[in-house]
Amino acid sequence: MTTTRRDPSKRPDEGRREQLLEAASRVIARDGIAAASTRRIAEEAGVPPGLVHYWFAGKDDLLESVIADNLSVVGGAVSEASLSDSGAGLLPPLAAAFEAIAADDRGRQIAMFEMTCWALRRTELNKVARNQYASYRRIALEAVEASGATFPPDTDPAVVAQLLAALTDGLTLAWLADPEGTDVTAVLELAARALSDTPASE
């Protein structure tokens, strides 16, 4: 997918881009990805359709940016927890990640899974899904490295990060499908204990 954009430094109103991202996120969360045409997004944002193409190469580029924008929220929460609770083990960043997810709009979290499937169904957009999960692993690895947790000999922290990313992703889907049957806190505490020698909590 080609996502050529004009030089952002030449754009006088960067707030328009954020306005369009927020509008796209609302449309996808409310109506699903199939409804997220550039015209519909422009209507939601209250701007002319041509403005979407000024900021984004097309729908694919816009939706890829929506994914990145959503991930930045979780990544920011994990980074903040990792800094404030550095050396406190795996539980604080795991809990922070899920708190950010739980505080988000339910429709938008469902849309994240929908957008992943959308990207996987189109060969030219498979890299969008790969980049999404690479971001999950990067966020998890930052948390692992800041946690102060110790692991069995020869354990690769990057593999621990892969496991945490997969756990969080699957736990989120389970919670969205069956919140009453998914004890998020217990699962995260068990994971923190099982994956390291560092206590999950005091």
- Residues 190 and 202: their CA atoms lie apart, in Å, by 14
Mean pLDDT value across residues 32-40: 88
Return the pLDDT at 57: 87
How many CA atoms, within 13 angstroms, populate the side-chain half-sphere of residue 115? 33
* Residue type, position 163, single letter: L
Mean pLDDT value across residues 47-57: 89
Mean pLDDT value across residues 146-166: 91
Mean pLDDT value across residues 137-158: 90
- Residues 58 and 1: their CA atoms lie apart, in Å, by 10
At 160, is the pLDDT very low, low, confident or very high (cuts 50, 70, 90)? Answer: very high
Note the pTM of the prediction, 2 decimals: 0.79
- Residues 21 and 41: their CA atoms lie apart, in Å, by 9
CA 148 to chain CA mean position, Å: 24
Residue of 85 and 73 predicted with greater confidence? 73
Highest mean pLDDT among 12-16, 55-59, 170-174, 196-200: 170-174
At 9, is the pLDDT very low, low, confident or very high (cuts 50, 70, 90)? Answer: very low
Return the pLDDT at 73: 81
Return the pLDDT at 13: 63
Query: Is residue 71 within 8 Å of residue 132, measured between CB atoms?
Result: yes
Return the pLDDT at 185: 95
